[in-house]
Structure 1
Amino acid sequence: MGTDLYRDGMARLDAGDVAEARRLLEEALRKSPGDVAVMHGLSRVLDQAGERARSVELLEHAHARAPSEPGPAHDLAMALLEREEDVRAVQVLTPVLEAHPEDTRAHLFMAMALAKSDAARARIHTAKALMDSDPDVKLQAQALDDVLAEHQRLS
Structure 2
Amino acid sequence: MSRADICRRGRAIKNANLLALILLALAVSGCASNSGIPADQLSVDEIESGVAADEVEIWIEPLTAEQDQQLSRARGAWAEGDLESARQILDSLLAIRPDHPDVMTNAAIVAREQGRREASRTLLEEALKVAPGHRVASNNLGLMLAETGEFADARKVLVRAVQRYPEEPSLHYNLAVIYELYVQDLAKALEHYKQYQSLLDEPDAQVEGWIVDLERRVE
Query: Please, which of 76, 81, 106 is the counterpart of residue 171 of structure 2?
Result: 106
Note closer, same or farther for the CA distance 1:142–1:23 as it changes in structure 2 (3 Å cut). farther
Question: Which one is further off, 22-31 or 50-59?
Answer: 50-59
The answer to which structure has the higher strand fraction is 2
Query: Please, which of 109, 120, 123 is the counterpart of residue 190 of structure 2?
Result: 123
Q: Deviations over 1:49-85 (max 9, x none)?
A: 1112211121111112111211100111111111222
Q: Deviations over 1:86-140 (max 9, x none)?
A: 21112112222122111111101111221133111111001111235488x9367
Alignment match, 1:90: 155
- Asked if 1:28 is matched to 2:82, the reply is no
Matching of residues 9-48 of structure 1 within 5 Å: 9-48=74-113
Question: Which one is further off, 89-98 or 36-45?
Answer: 89-98
Note closer, same or farther for the CA distance 1:141–1:29 as it changes in structure 2 (3 Å cut). farther
| Paired residue type of 2:106 | G
Where do 5+ consecutive residues of structure 2 fail to align? 1-62
Q: Is the 8 A contact 2:169 2:200 kept in 1?
A: no
Q: Is the 8 A contact 1:129 1:138 kept in 2?
A: no
Alignment match, 1:49: 114
Q: What TM-score, normalized to structure 2?
A: 0.62
| Paired residue type of 1:59 | L
Q: Percent identity?
A: 24
Cα deviation for residue 144 of structure 1 reads: 5.1
Q: Which has the larger radius of gyration?
A: 2
Cα deviation for residue 27 of structure 1 reads: 0.6
Note closer, same or farther for the CA distance 1:139–1:8 as it changes in structure 2 (3 Å cut). farther
Indicate the SS of the match to 2:132.
coil
Where do 5+ consecutive residues of structure 1 fail to align? none
Q: How far apart, CA to CA, are the structure 2 residues paired with 1:21 and 1:48? A: 11
Note closer, same or farther for the CA distance 1:67–1:128 as it changes in structure 2 (3 Å cut). same
Task: Kindly indicate whether structure 1 or structure 2 has the higher relative contact order, using CA contacts under 8 Å at least 6 residues apart.
Answer: 2
RMSD over equivalenced CA pairs, Å = 2.3
Q: How far apart, CA to CA, are the structure 2 residues paired with 1:110 and 1:132? A: 15
Q: How far apart, CA to CA, are the structure 2 residues paired with 1:44 and 1:143? A: 32
Alignment match, 1:138: 204
Aligned length: 152
Note closer, same or farther for the CA distance 1:118–1:142 as it changes in structure 2 (3 Å cut). same
Question: Which one is further off, 141-150 or 1-10?
Answer: 141-150
